[in-house]
Chains A and B, each alone.
Chain A
Amino acid sequence: MIKVENAFFTYPSGVKALEGLNLEIQDGEFIGIMGENGAGKTTLVKHFNGLLKPTNGSIYINGKNTRETTVAELSKNVGLVFQNPDHQLFCETVEEEVTFGLKNFGFAEEKIVERTDWVLNFLELERYRKSSPFILSGGERKRVALAAVLAWDPNILVLDEPTIGQDYLQKERLRQYIEQLNGQGRTVIIVTHDIEFIAECKPRIIVLSKGKIINYATAKEALTNSENLSKASIFPPQIAQLFTQIADLGLPKDVIDVYEAKVLIENLLKGGKRNEGV
């Protein structure tokens, strides 16, 4: 469980990044953190594994105060995957990249083999096991970076901007992985401003703006609140925009899913067929 108590954070340069955050994330939750560039999203998640400590207030991971715990110890529970895989890949093979964390955390040899096999298989990287991460494509490198963290099986997984530079199919694949991991009971937190991706994933959403939480609600509630989103420089997903516009036709306002939309509109048009004189 993650508990944030009245957390403030100011960078040494004087930039105030977090201004009094209160937050609780339960085990097994699926969370999306959204907000404008510079809202404090990355700063917040860097607090979850202790890379940053709040200048004021406290953060507890599974009851442990991050101020009294090392980054390594916290990272065992909180796996943080950075935005750019090139900031972490350094090994000669994908396999070494995956075992790096496992060795750091002192796993036993057979456990390392077992975890490596599992993660390479799960993320469909088996055929790249002996390849250099540097010859892989951008999308594949991102997957290796995820594998390198997922390997030690953290029960909280944090992904910072996982969809940047990814095409639609790559995002679909990522979504399936995330949903499986969450389904297995892990807490998954994604940081993004990719609204259409979020609308498909439908996590619980934290909207951050200028270092403050301005909304914490279900995807349906958060993504249909255009006034609130606009404070964080985000537009609602297209389906939500459409249903806000056509609310006067007697349809619900809080629709974000394209399949739900399809059923509603189908019914609307079939019900209205007489108007066409069919």
Chain B
Amino acid sequence: MKVFEGLKFSRKTSIIHFLDPRTKFLVSCVIFLISLIFSELIILSILFVAQIPLILLAKIQREWSHSIRGGAFLIIIILSTNLIFGYISNNFQLTSRLLIHSIAMAFRFIIITSSFSIFFLTTSPDNLSLALEQSHIPYEFCFAFTTAVRFVPVLANEAQTIIDAQRSRGLEVEKGNFLKRVRKYIPLLIPLIVNAIRRSLELAEAMESRAFGAKKQRTNIYSLKIKKADSIIIISSLIIIFLAIYSKFNLQIPIIQIPLLPP
């Protein structure tokens, strides 16, 4: 669950929070693309270091570190599979290139996680939905998105209550062999489903009562506007991605060599 903690928006005021969601999304995508274009550790390190000021500016160090720690397991898997398979296919020889490459792959994952974590941590789901709406995504989809975000804590709570209620009736989910354990999920799943259906009916009633779908083109209390800061960042991002693609094909990127290992 800690992984999700690292994606949960927290209301703060900072320059990063103030930026248009579309700007931030573009920046995240640019970071994502560059990290895919390059597999050199040097470039990836620069990308990683470049994110640090953003995290500090947005005052999200704590939440950000949660999401990285949440991804730690995957990071280790990526690092070790790269190492093990590289080692095997390399005739059981550990080379500097292999080690650097494995580290770079793990680093790539960290960078991608980190850039989208910054995006979600500093963008309120309401604004995100608004950005989607203004990007001409159908409203039903945007509504489904915000409703899902809205009901995550509610459903998590309900699931806990159901587990508590059945444990109080002597249900011990951890006990017994695999088949027995699977059967023990029935008392949890049925109330969960029944309540979800009941809740969705109630929601539908409330939506109807609030004129949902009355007009084809609905209006919005808020609107997003691209501000000056946004334009600057958007233009810089586009320049950076252009430069990145250019240098990929035209520049030689230095390779790090680890001492004591064959290249």
Q: Which residues of A contact B (CB under 8 A)?
A: 46, 49, 51, 70-72, 75-76, 79-80, 82, 84, 86-90, 100-101, 104-105, 134, 148-149, 152
B155-187: CB near A (< 8 Å → 1, else 0) gives 000100110111111111000000000000011
Give the residue of A75, A104, A134, A152 whose beta carbon is less than 8 angstroms from that of B194.
A134
Chain B residues, CB < 8 A from A82 = 161, 164-165, 168
Chain A residues, CB < 8 A from B256 = none
Pair B170/A88 contact, Cβ less than 8 Å: no
At the interface, yes or no: B76 with Cβ under 8 Å from chain A? no
At the interface, yes or no: B57 with Cβ under 8 Å from chain A? no
Q: What's the dominant secondary structure at chain B's contact region?
A: helix
Pair A51/B198 contact, Cβ less than 8 Å: no
Give the residue of B164, B172, B191 whose beta carbon is less than 8 angstroms from that of A51.
B164
Chain A residues, CB < 8 A from B169 = 75, 88, 100-101, 104, 148-149
Measured between alpha carbons, how far is A152 from B171 in the docked complex, in Å? Answer: 13
Give the residue of A51, A80, A90 whose beta carbon is less than 8 angstroms from that of B190.
A90
Q: Which residue of A lies closest to B189 (CB)?
A: A90
Measured between alpha carbons, how far is A116 from B82 in the docked complex, in Å? Answer: 60
Give the residue of A72, A87, A152 whose beta carbon is less than 8 angstroms from that of B165.
A87
Chain A residues, CB < 8 A from B162 = 87-88
CB-CB under 8 A for A75 and B167, given A87-B158, A88-B162, A104-B172: yes
Q: Would you give 8 A-B contacts (Cβ < 8 Å), ordered by A?
A: A49-B168, A71-B168, A72-B167, A72-B171, A75-B169, A88-B191, A90-B194, A104-B170
Interface centre among B161, B169, B172 (most CB of A within 10 A): B169
Pair B161/A87 contact, Cβ less than 8 Å: yes
Pair B168/A90 contact, Cβ less than 8 Å: no
At the interface, yes or no: B195 with Cβ under 8 Å from chain A? yes
In the complex, the 10 A-B pairs of residues with the closest C-beta atoms, listed nearest first:
A104-B170, A90-B190, A88-B165, A101-B169, A80-B168, A82-B165, A87-B165, A105-B170, A71-B167, A51-B164
Measured between alpha carbons, how far is A84 from B190 in the docked complex, in Å? Answer: 15
Pair B187/A72 contact, Cβ less than 8 Å: no
Whole-angstrom distance between the Cβ of B189 and the nearest chain A Cβ:
8
Whole-angstrom distance between the Cβ of B176 and the nearest chain A Cβ:
11
Q: Which residues of B contact A (CB under 8 A)?
A: 158, 161-162, 164-172, 186-187, 190-191, 194-195, 198
Pair B195/A149 contact, Cβ less than 8 Å: no
Chain A residues, CB < 8 A from B166 = 88
Chain A residues, CB < 8 A from B186 = 90
Pair A86/B198 contact, Cβ less than 8 Å: yes
Measured between alpha carbons, how far is A80 from B190 in the docked complex, in Å? Answer: 20
Whole-angstrom distance between the Cβ of B85 and the nearest chain A Cβ:
38
Chain A residues, CB < 8 A from B172 = 70-72, 104
Pair B194/A86 contact, Cβ less than 8 Å: yes
Give the residue of A46, A70, A105 whose beta carbon is less than 8 angstroms from that of B164.
A46
Q: Which residue of A lies closest to B168 (CB)?
A: A80
Measured between alpha carbons, how far is A79 from B170 in the docked complex, in Å? Answer: 10
Interface centre among A46, A49, A76, A86 (most CB of B within 10 A): A86
Chain A residues, CB < 8 A from B164 = 46, 51, 82
Pair B195/A86 contact, Cβ less than 8 Å: yes
Measured between alpha carbons, how far is A163 from B170 in the docked complex, in Å? Answer: 25
Measured between alpha carbons, how far is A88 from B161 in the docked complex, in Å? Answer: 9
Measured between alpha carbons, how far is A79 from B186 in the docked complex, in Å? Answer: 21
Chain B residues, CB < 8 A from A149 = 168-169
Chain A residues, CB < 8 A from B187 = 88, 90, 100
Measured between alpha carbons, how far is A72 from B167 in the docked complex, in Å? Answer: 7
Interface centre among A51, A88, A134 (most CB of B within 10 A): A88
Give the residue of A49, A89, A148, A152 whose beta carbon is less than 8 angstroms from that of B191.
A89
Whole-angstrom distance between the Cβ of A97 and the nearest chain B Cβ:
9
Chain B residues, CB < 8 A from A86 = 191, 194-195, 198
CB-CB under 8 A for A51 and B161, given A87-B195, A90-B187, A90-B191: no
Whole-angstrom distance between the Cβ of A240 and the nearest chain B Cβ:
34
Pair A87/B168 contact, Cβ less than 8 Å: no
Chain B residues, CB < 8 A from A70 = 172
Give the residue of A75, A84, A134 whose beta carbon is less than 8 angstroms from that of B170.
A75
Chain A residues, CB < 8 A from B165 = 82, 87-88
Measured between alpha carbons, how far is A90 from B171 in the docked complex, in Å? Answer: 13
Measured between alpha carbons, how far is A89 from B170 in the docked complex, in Å? Answer: 14
Q: Which residue of B lies closest to A84 (CB)?
A: B161
Measured between alpha carbons, how far is A70 from B187 in the docked complex, in Å? Answer: 19
Measured between alpha carbons, how far is A148 from B187 in the docked complex, in Å? Answer: 13
Pair A51/B167 contact, Cβ less than 8 Å: yes
Chain A residues, CB < 8 A from B194 = 86, 90, 134
Whole-angstrom distance between the Cβ of B191 and the nearest chain A Cβ:
5
Whole-angstrom distance between the Cβ of B203 and the nearest chain A Cβ:
16
Whole-angstrom distance between the Cβ of A144 and the nearest chain B Cβ:
12
CB-CB under 8 A for A75 and B191, given A82-B161, A87-B161: no
Whole-angstrom distance between the Cβ of B169 and the nearest chain A Cβ:
4
